[in-house]
Structure 1
Amino acid sequence: MKEIKIPELAESITEGTIAEWLVKEGDKVEKGDPVVELETDKVNVEVNSDYAGVITEIVQGEGEDVEVGDIIAKLDESGEAGADTSSNEEPKEEKQEDVKEEPKEDKKKEEATVENTEEAPKKDQKDDKKGDVIASPAARKRARELGIDLSTVSSRDPLGRIRPEDVDAAAKDTSEKKESKPAKKEAPKTEEKTEFDKPVERVKMSRRRQTIAKRLVEVQHEAAMLTTFNEVDLTNVMKLRSERKEKFIDKHGVKLGFMSFFTKAVVGALKEFPLLNAEIQGNELVLKKFYDIGIAVSTDDGLVVPVVRDADRLDFAGVEREIGNLGKKARDKKLAMEDLQGGSFTITNGGTFGSMLSTPILNAPQVGILGMHNIQKRAMVMPDDTIEVRPMMYLALSYDHRIVDGKEAVQFLVRVKQLLEDPYDLLLEG
């Protein structure tokens, strides 16, 4: 019998949550076949089997937390797919022989106890059923909290294992049945005090969401975070995109979007204000001489920040292509650890969801993050005192005041604004 364990995943990952089993008990797997999808605080990864054989037991169910080295399944290298390994029945002939050799005195005793044995099965079956319930530790804990008998809970799991959501569903059904029964007038009203007076639904936070919450709070506790704002006139960017979009697609095979302009503008400003491209390690400042720009991407499982490597060495088409590839990988849950590690500065675009203004939170250990927002046409007063309708966007720069002074942060944001409002040189130089 072999054991499938959680392997070493990456230097910064020591634990995860089982998101989905890709096999079931009785399935035959080959060496290297993926058997389970593991959710970590950064990406979902597949754990492969180190052996070929048949899965005889799944030790850890979906939704359970595991650490590196934990046993999650057992495998029989000599087993056959679909074989039942849970029972070893004795031959019928042997049982028959035992019956024939049974003395008469024993038969009398057996007849004397028949009446008692016939009355017992109902109770015994109930007790056996309760003892045979297969439930995850989280489900058992939830059942204790809600006072639910696990033997009354129906499992929606193909393997028959009861999950916390099954317990919640059973509790809901029990509550609805109680509410549907007419109240007896003679019975005194007793109101059970609960945390909420109205219906609620409890959903366990994913490991990624727990990590996001933990790190964002840590940043607010550890960094002296401050945000400065400005606005940028995107008239020339939109004009340039309109003029070049067809030729750009024909030549490079990708669209000329806004993110490449902002990425290039940020790189240009970081070169002039290097403290925004640094981080604090103990009593030292680490000034990074590279420009790996993180691009925040929202997915169904939470926010991830894949990194565009060496953005200063990429042209506009290279930046657009890389952002497109990373965004697709994020949505398809195909991001690898190397796609997320590192990064010297982050850009987040809340404007895609209609955000007008926000204060982005730092992506530690970085000390700067630029927030983009919705483009709105507004009446602007021009230098010659005329009024024109211009496409405007608010920009927000959050920074760590421990190493970046307000003057430098404001100048950095102004430089980003200048580069975006005169993008022709930016495109040529990029």
Structure 2
Amino acid sequence: MAVEVRVPTLGESIVEATVGKWLKRVGDAVAAGETLVDLETDKVSVEVTAGKAGVLEQIIKGEGERGRRRVIGTLGAGAARQNGVSAPAAAACRSANACRAAADERDARATPVARRILAEEALICGRSPAAGRSGRVTKEDIATQQAQRPPRLLQPQPSRAATRTASGRTGAPAPAADSRGEERVRLTRRRQTIAQPPGRAQHNAAMLTTFNEIDMTAVMELRKRRKDTFKERHGIGLGFMSFFTRAVVGALKAFPMLNAELQGSEIVLKRYYDIGIAVGVEEGLVVPVLRDADRKSFAQIEREIADLAGRARDGKLTLAELQGGTFTITNGGVFGSLMSTPILNAPQVGILGMHKIEERPIALNGQVVIRPMMYVALSYDHRLIDGSTSVRFLVRVKELVEDPEALLLEG
């Protein structure tokens, strides 16, 4: 009995997946727990494994096709080859409902050599060759029918690269590129989501952004004094993300509406602080979630962020690690961005954007001094957050980062 290969439950904010790549072909033997296919979602890649050993009998959803908790393939029982008939040929016969004369013990008219040719050449799909004078099907009889019959039902499969179309579906080979050279590459599901203008969050929310700047002198001096002993004691470097994470938590406690969610006509106020940390990967950004950030030390924050970022770049994050964040921090400064407008990570109502630290002249106590300054941006959903609340929230983040002692006490 065939076993269905289904798109798994993907989580509360992920509604469907796109078939990325089948790692097995029809007819391949599959071990229990072995990965069959990679699925792409808006947020993460998902591996679908075989629930039991068998043979990949049918691929229902090809690469680039979408599915939502649907059957995308089937597994059959048994070994990759049964009764001398290759599994691909048998699967094709079943799907075409045209298998009348399988080359096995049921067709006693075929000689052993003829059975092998019938199986390997997939002639079991269609009419069995007529028997010769001896009353048995021989290889000569097969050759005679091959010369007379129309093209076989089973045709050699072109390479996946050759059959990839602009839409991502398998079909006729794409036209050859001109002499200057072109290449068509299917957008991944994550990149399709990023490319949707002006973005789902911007479409559904009334998104506005407010800006401020932070003097990073105190944090940089503290890191300089403590970085060696911190790393020796905790085995991890002391970065900027732990300071900003603690500052965000402190500001969220002061302005809890930024840690809320709008659901229909209700506001869901959250008393926990799960901070999403945007991580740049090859195909864009993913946002793993740092759980209970208010209960973690600087070392714990740095260690967990490093772990999440590393596994994000290796594609090893789980769906659970990408769900349920209450607020997000993104750092465009690592790429050299001086100022930008971060996009909300729906259904959250606030996101903090960090940027490049750059020495600039500022007026301080009546004098012009050079200080390491960072522009910060807060994008927020104006349906829930007033302008004054957003400004005061960002000022609170600024105050806490510029005064690490207050950060330790209140963050």
Alignment partner, residue 205 of structure 2? 223
CA deviation digits over 1:119-143, x for unaligned, max 9? x96xx89x737x75577xxxxxxxx
**Aligned residue type for 2:3:** E
Give yes or no for contact 2:163–2:174 (8 Å, CA) kept in 1: no
For residue 304 of structure 1, report the CA deviation from its aligned partner: 1.1
CA contact (8 A) 2:31 2:53 kept: yes
Residue pair 2:279, 2:285 contacting (<8 A) in 1 also: yes
1:276 shift after superposition? 1.2
| Letter paired with 2:383 | R
**Larger proportion of helix:** 1
1-side partners of 2:401 and 2:296: how far apart?
Answer: 18
Q: State the partner residue of 1:296.
A: 278
Q: Which amino acid in the other structure matches residue 15 of structure 1? A: E
Q: Which residue of 1 aligns with 2:111?
A: 92
Q: Which runs of 4+ in 1 moved over 6 A?
A: 93-96, 165-169
The answer to whether structure 1 residue 128 and structure 2 residue 109 are counterparts is: no
8 Å CA contact 2:163–2:173 kept in 1: the answer is no
Give the Å deviation of 1:259: 0.4
Alignment gaps of 5+ in structure 1: 103-116, 136-154, 177-197
Alignment-derived partner of residue 75 in structure 1: 76
Q: How does 1:182-261 map to 2 (within 5 A)?
A: 201-214=183-196, 217-261=199-243
Residues 57-76 of structure 1 aligned to structure 2 (within 5 Å): 57-76=58-77
| 1:43-66 Cα distance to aligned partner (Å, 9 max, x none) | 211112122223344443333323
Q: CA RMSD in A?
A: 3.2
1:409 equivalent in alignment to 2:409:
no
Equivalent residue for 2:306?
Answer: 324
Match of 2:379 in 1: 398
Go from structure 1 to structure 2 and tell me whether the alpha carbon gap of 1:302 and 1:366 turns closer, same or farther (over 3 Å shift): same
Select the residue among 421, 424, 430 that pairs with 2:402. 421
Q: Which amino acid aligns with 1:91?
A: A
- The letter for the 1-side match of 2:159 is R
1:17 Cα offset (Å): 1.8
- Of 50-59 and 291-300, deviating more is 50-59
TM superposition shift of 1:168: 8.7
State the identity as a percent: 50
TM-score by length of 1: 0.76
Change (3 A) 1:308 1:11: closer
Q: Number of residue pairs matched?
A: 367
- Aligned match of 1:284: 266
1:240–1:424 Cα contact (<8 Å) kept: no
Aligned equivalents of 1:262 and 1:168: distance in 2?
A: 52
1:401 deviation in Å?
1.6
Contact 1:316–1:427 at 8 Å: present in 2 too? no
- Distance in 2, Cα, partners of 1:79 & 1:200: 39
Corresponding position of 1:171: 175
Q: TM-score, normalised by structure 2?
A: 0.79
SS at match of 2:276: strand
CA distance, structure 2, for counterparts of residue 242 and residue 428 of structure 1: 21
Structure 2 residue ranges without an equivalent (≥5): 91-101, 104-108, 115-128, 137-143
Contact 2:162 2:173 survives alignment (8 Å): no
What is the DSSP-based 3-state SS (H/G/I as helix, E as strand, rest coil) of the residue aligned with 1:390? strand
Deviations along 1:188-243, whole A, 9 cap, x unmatched? xxxxxxxxxx9865432211222334496232222221111111110110000011
1:4: Cα distance to partner? 3.3
- Residue-by-residue CA offset, 1:317-337 (whole Å, 9 max, x unaligned): 111111111111111111111
Structure 2 SS opposite 1:226: strand
| Aligned mates of 2:373, 2:23 — CA distance in 1 | 49
Match of 2:10? 10
The alignment partner of 1:68 has SS state of coil
